[in-house]
Every structure is written in structure tokens, then in C-alpha cells.
Amino acid sequence: MKRNLLFAICLIIAGIFDVSAQRKVYFTPKVGLNITNITNTQGDWKSGTNLGMGVEWLIKPKIGIETGLYYSEYGTKNIDIPSLNHKQMVELSYIQMPIAVKYYLFKGFNIFAGPQFNYKIDEKVKPVYTTITYNKDFALNGLAGLGYQFDFGLTFSVNYVLGITSVGQPIFAANNNTYNRRNYAYQFNVGWRF
């Protein structure tokens, strides 16, 4: 499964460079803030960072496809666990690859939406609570947002991310529906397109 994901990423990157001679291609390093939570935890919002490189190619003057690779931090905090008399914190770190369709409404103002593929690279749960684990390596999100692209290169974007697949896995199969836990987040990014 991991080899298939890496192979797919390589094909996408190769495809980007292949079309660069025919269409306008832009690279955008980005950095930003995540405000995240996990459904069905009753936890509080938690902040994290995201950073990486976006690649956009214009199919038409007002329509583009944007992808890239990003490091992104998710999680939640202050989950109440009465049986342990503790508050739990969950920190999940991912390598993310979004594939978004982008439409420029006017000037640099744009809207975008698409799927986001996530591969988990780190997990911290404090204290450990044995009813559920967050050991799923892959997660699928949907994202939608808006942004602004200045002519000189500076970009801003805000997007909403909602998990499509669960990141939590119950220890007991009977609890599967009870513990359907998905990431959701607001992301605020700044970047420079060249």
C-alpha cells in the first residue's frame, strides 16, 4: 500500500513536469496555521502548523489544478475521560497531498475544492486510553476554500477540511459506529508563487 502511494505521487509529479512545456506551471512554497479537532471526542480545538510546496498548472486562463506535498499537524485536546479522571490530548502529524480544482473569479480572487490524501507519520496520545487507537496510517479528507493571488507572487488562502474516513479505530469491533472519529480543520496559509 505504501509503495502504491509513493508510485502514485511520483506519477503525479512526473505528469506535472511533462505538461509544463505546454501549460503554465507555478510553484508555491506555503506555511500556515491549522485549527483542528476530531469528531465524536467532545474535545477542544487545537492549533498546529502546516508547511510545504504547492504546484499549480493552469488548464485555462481561469481554471487550474493545484496539488503538492505538505507536513500538517492535526489533533484535539481536553477530551474528558471520567474513568481515568484525566483529560486526553491527541496529536496527529501527516504528509498531505491535496488535489484541488481552482477557479479564478476575478483578478487574483479564487475558490478551490477537492480531495486531500493523508499519510500519518506521527501520533501522540496522552494519556493512552485503551478503548480506541489512532493507528490508521491513511486518511481521506475533503477540502474547500478561497484565496487571493497578488500579481507580484504573494498568496493567501483559507480553507475548511473535513475528514471522509475515520482516523480512530476501536479496540472492540462492537464499538465501530460509536468511535467513527474524523479530522476537521480550518487552515490559514501564506505563500509565494513563482
pLDDT digit string (tens) for 84-105?
677 889 999 999 999 999 999 9
- Residue ranges making up the domain that contains 110: 2-192
d(CA 17, CA 121): 27
Q: What is the pLDDT of residue 3?
A: 62
100's enclosing H/E stretch is strand 100-106
Kindly tell me if the per-residue pLDDT of 176 is higher than 60: no
Total domains present in the chain? 1
CB atoms within 10 A of CB 168: 22
Kindly tell me if the per-residue pLDDT of 154 is higher than 50: yes
Least confident of 6-10, 45-49, 68-72, 183-187: 6-10
d(CA 162, CA 141): 6
CA neighbor of 168 nearest in space, from 138, 139, 193, 132: 132
The model's confidence at residue 114, banded by pLDDT at 50, 70 and 90, is: very high
122's enclosing H/E stretch is strand 109-126
Per the prediction, the chain carries an average pLDDT of: 86
Kindly tell me if the per-residue pLDDT of 152 is higher than 60: yes
Q: What is the pLDDT of residue 181?
A: 87
Burial of 66 (0-12, 13-18, 19+ CB in 10 A): buried
Q: Which residues contact 158 (CB under 8 A, 6 or more apart)?
A: 145, 146, 147, 186, 187, 188, 189
**Mean pLDDT, residues 7-13:** 60
d(CA 176, CA 169): 7
d(CA 93, CA 161): 15
d(CA 35, CA 23): 35
Q: Looking at residue 136, which CATH number applies to its domain?
A: 2.40.160.20
Q: Which residues contact 188 (CB under 8 A, 6 or more apart)?
A: 32, 33, 35, 157, 158
The whole-model pTM stands at: 0.82
Percent of the chain with pLDDT over 90: 61
Model confidence pLDDT, tens digit, residues 11-57: 565 565 554 445 589 999 999 999 999 988 888 999 999 999 999 99
Percent of the chain with pLDDT over 70: 80
